């Protein structure tokens, strides 16, 4: 019997370790069906290049995304037609839209989360705010706190431009705060919109079409705290151990730059291969404190940020996971697309729906710019 199995049993909380106490999410009103995306995108950007249109059509099928929510709308393009024109300086207009949109979604997701949590909003002591879709001073953390009516004494932390690993990075930071401030309750909020990087199709930027076919908008929220109050708080997961690792000399693999035309992203083709080559060592390091055999991955549950189907497929193959182990990640990708830092919240919510399939212990994982790996060894506290 491995050491992990000898540790406290299922649903028994290790007091002192941080726990996820509630989850919440929010989305913009615009729902995009993947089957209609290509025609709408080319119409809105006044492009009629048949080769690019065919390429995007293929990408929309391979991403496995079915639906997504987006802030972008015909009304926004009518007000800001320059967003669909190549080469115009539009960063001010984009930030005006994004700053307001991410705040609104973050407030809505946080309110949903706090309602599920069941304690007064005045009991929140800290805020961790994550976004790669805004830039301003003061930052979105302050506007979130103000919008929720939090106390001016609430301690705030911002994580900007962490990309797809931002949600798990924020969870790691919230865990540290909760465990080092007895009695604290941390609100983690993530909020993203693709308007910051929306561009018309171009033969000079074929990689942009991957983002058009894959990324979505939305917000997520969690409440994190140690020593949950019996009969009031209902802990979902215990956050046992968190680690971060970056791969040297891979900083250009996920490349994003803020320009006068908004953010330009470039994802290199070798990203899934790099993750496959390094994921096993990372996971082994994370669970090494447990005593579980390195090859017993199917005894764990897997909450993996769905960066794309290629990443999930390679991870599944490399670790020889049963297909159902990544079902929550694949459902989140199909329903919401890759919503950057938010997506891990949607994955965890789907895991709660599939709770009969959750084993006692598991990993929360995400991969972002750096290339950065984020991982948290997690204990299931859900009563089946």
Mean of pLDDT over the chain: 93
Query: Whole-model pTM?
Result: 0.94
Condensed to tens digits (0 to 9), the pLDDT of residues 74-105 reads 999 999 999 999 989 999 999 999 999 999 99
The answer to whether 183 and 307 are in contact (CB under 8 A) is no
Burial of 345 (0-12, 13-18, 19+ CB in 10 A): buried
Residues 328, 334, 335, 339: is their CA dihedral positive or negative?
A: positive
Tell me: pLDDT of 7 over 80.
Answer: no
- Candidate from 78-82, 204-208, 376-380 with smallest mean pLDDT: 204-208
At 194 the three-state DSSP class reads helix
> Which helix or strand (DSSP H or E) is residue 100 part of?
helix 91-117
C-alpha span between 239 and 1 (Å, rounded): 22
Cis status of the peptide bond prior to 91, with omega within 30 of 0: no
**Cβ contacts of residue 1 below 8 Å, gap of 6+?**
none
In order, the DSSP letters of 279-291 are: HHHHHHHHHTTTT
- Specify which residues 70 forms β-bridges with: 30
Is the pLDDT assigned to residue 183 strictly greater than 60?
yes
The catalytic residue positions are 164
Counted residue by residue, the chain has a size of 384
Kindly tell me if the per-residue pLDDT of 136 is higher than 80: yes
Q: Does the pLDDT value for residue 5 go beyond 60?
A: no
Reported as a pLDDT band with limits 50, 70 and 90, residue 355 is confident
205: which DSSP letter? -
Q: What is the pLDDT of residues 143-158, one digit of tens each?
A: 999 999 999 999 999 9
**Tokens found for residue 16:** 């002192």
State the pLDDT at residue 354: 84
Is it the case that residue 10 has pLDDT exceeding 60? no
For residues 210-219, average pLDDT: 96
pLDDT level of residue 343 (50, 70, 90 thresholds): very high
- pLDDT for the residue numbered 11: 59
Q: Is the pLDDT of residue 1 over 80?
A: no
Percent of the residues in the chain that have a pLDDT greater than 70, as a whole number: 94
């Amino acid at each position: 019997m491995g050491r992990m199995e000898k540790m406290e049993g299922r649903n028994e909380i290790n007091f002192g370790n941080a726990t996820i106490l509630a989850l919440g999410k929010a989305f913009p009103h615009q729902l995009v069906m993947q089957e209609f995306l290509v025609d709408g995108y080319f119409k809105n950007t006044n492009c009629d290049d048949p080769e690019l249109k065919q390429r995007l059509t293929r990408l929309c099928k391979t991403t496995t995304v079915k639906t997504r929510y987006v802030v972008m709308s015909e009304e926004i393009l009518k007000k800001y037609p320059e967003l669909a024109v190549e080469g115009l300086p539009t960063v001010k207009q984009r930030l005006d839209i994004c700053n307001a949109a991410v705040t609104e979604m973050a407030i809505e997701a946080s309110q949903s989360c706090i309602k599920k949590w069941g304690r007064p909003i005045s009991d929140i002591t800290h805020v961790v705010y994550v976004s790669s879709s805004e830039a301003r001073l003061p930052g979105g953390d302050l506007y979130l706190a103000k919008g929720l009516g939090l106390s001016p004494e609430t301690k705030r932390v911002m994580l900007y431009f962490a990309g797809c690993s931002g949600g798990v990075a924020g969870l790691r930071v919230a865990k540290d705060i909760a465990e080092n401030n007895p009695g604290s309750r941390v609100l983690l909020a993530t909020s993203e919109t693709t308007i910051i990087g929306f561009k018309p199709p171009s033969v000079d930027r074929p990689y942009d079409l991957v983002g058009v076919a894959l990324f979505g908008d939305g917000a997520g929220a969690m409440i994190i705290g140690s020593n949950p109050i019996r009969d009031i708080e209902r802990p979902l997961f215990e956050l046992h151990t968190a680690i971060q690792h970056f791969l040297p000399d891979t900083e250009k693999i996920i490349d994003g730059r803020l320009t006068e035309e908004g953010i330009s992203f470039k994802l290199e083709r070798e990203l899934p291969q790099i993750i496959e080559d390094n994921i096993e060592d990372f996971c082994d390091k994370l669970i090494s404190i447990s005593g579980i055999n390195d090859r017993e991955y199917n005894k764990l549950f897997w909450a993996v940020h769905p960066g794309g189907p290629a990443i999930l497929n390679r991870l599944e193959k490399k670790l020889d996971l049963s297909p159902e182990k990544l079902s929550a990640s694949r459902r989140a990708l199909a329903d919401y697309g890759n919503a950057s830092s938010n997506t891990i919240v949607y994955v965890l919510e789907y895991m709660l729906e599939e709770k009969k399939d959750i084993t006692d212990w598991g990993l929360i994982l995400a991969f972002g710019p750096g290339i950065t790996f984020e991982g948290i060894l997690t204990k299931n506290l859900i009563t089946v």
